[in-house]
Amino acid sequence: MIVIEKTTPLSSVQDLGRTGSLHYGVGTAGVMDPLALQLGNAMLGNVPNAAAIEIPLFPFQVRFMDDCCFAVTGHDGRVMLDDVMLPFWWSAQARKGQRLTLHASRRTTRAYLHLPGGVDVPAVLGSRSTQLRGEFGGFQGRGLHQGDRLYAIEPKQAGPVDFGIMPPWYGLGVADTPVPLIRVLPAAEYGIFTEDSCQAFWLQAWQITPQSNRYGYRLSGQPLIAKAPLEMRSHGIVPGVIQIPHNGQPIIQMRDAQPSGGYPKFGTVIDADMWVLGQIPVGSLVRFIQVSYQQARVADAQQQAYLQKVIAQIDCHRRYAG
């Protein structure tokens, strides 16, 4: 068991998300960085979809009420177990009474704390993810507060610890560019925008504004202008869809996006790049690259191959070091 000692209400319990309920008006929720979740779970021998604590603001601190192994993934800020600094993307053993403190990173915006077997909260509609807007799932349907007590599904689970992995932004080459490059498929209403606006979207760097959160990333840059005014009925949308409201400033739907909306759809961030987008700090710049559907499929296959390769390496280590 752990007790939350320092947090904000934006920290929440999340897994890979809630699927199959969009037609009921229920969004997906889930982690903003699915790669970090799956890799952290592999480090502890958990199932890939085991729930973890997503932490977007720091410092974050917990106290262990029992001996417990854990892993921290997602960010590259300082990780302190009492007064000992741990490497990031690392698994370790905590003793009863020890405190784990996570500090902010300049490069990435979210950390994940993994417990053995995952965080033990009830599954709602097939997921343990917190739906903050609907106030259900996760821990009592809300973000975490000081004094909350959370349990691991398999608190006595043992295995090798004190090992880590290379963060995926190195393994997948994301760190090679000073401004993150996000791949985008043109969407249904792409053709209604002027040629100058379409070119501006691909050529300029966009800033992620402070009005961004798990619901959507609001961008600031040269406005995108339609060839003629367009009124649309509300229609289905999913995380990754880029909508253009009347002010011409794009909004990228993120994990807590509502399942319908009426703004024109300019493009869609490919699934393989959603984890990158979810780790870009507010205020940072981002650029977009146009890709085809086939290129998006190839990118997804490459990411899945990378993920399975690293998980196999972790499993091999756990087998021979355990």
CATH superfamily of 177-291: Cyclophilin-like (2.40.100.10)
Other Cβ atoms closer than 10 A to 209 = 14
For residue 47, pLDDT over 70 is answered with yes
CA-based nearest residue to 281, from 181, 216, 212: 212
pLDDT band at residue 163 under the 50/70/90 scheme: very high
Q: How many CA atoms lie within 13 A of 49 on its CB side?
A: 10
Q: How far apart are CA 200 and CA 205, in angstroms?
A: 9
Q: Which residues 6+ apart lie within 8 Å of 253 measured at CB?
A: 215, 216, 237, 238, 239, 240, 241, 242, 243, 261
Q: Helices in the chain by DSSP H: which ranges?
A: 34-44, 168-171, 195-203, 274-278, 293-321
Does the pLDDT at position 322 exceed 70? no
Residue 125 in this model has a pLDDT that exceeds 80: yes
- The answer to whether the CB of 180 falls within 8 A of the CB of 280 is yes
Higher pLDDT, 230 or 129: 129
Q: What is the pTM of this model?
A: 0.96
Predicted confidence (pLDDT) per residue in 267-303, tens digit: 999 999 999 999 999 999 999 999 999 999 999 999 9
Q: For position 37, what pLDDT does the model report?
A: 98
For the chain, the helix, strand and coil percentages under 3-state DSSP, each to the nearest 5: 20, 30, 50
Residue-averaged pLDDT of the chain:
95
Smallest Cα–Cα separation from 282: which of 35, 57, 12? 57
Give percent of the chain above pLDDT 70: 100
pLDDT in tens, 165-217: 999 999 898 887 889 999 999 999 999 999 999 999 999 999 999 999 999 99
Q: pLDDT value at position 235?
A: 86
Token pair listed for 309: 């390769």
Give the residue extent of every domain in the chain.
2-170, 177-291
In angstroms, the first-to-last Cα distance of the chain is 23
Residue 158 pLDDT > 80: no
Reply yes or no on whether the pLDDT at 245 is more than 80: yes
Average confidence (pLDDT) over 219-225:
97
Across the range 91-117, mean pLDDT stands at 96
Task: Report the distance separating Cα 318 and Cα 312, nearest Å.
Answer: 10
- pLDDT grade, residue 304 (50/70/90)? very high
The residue type found at 307 is L
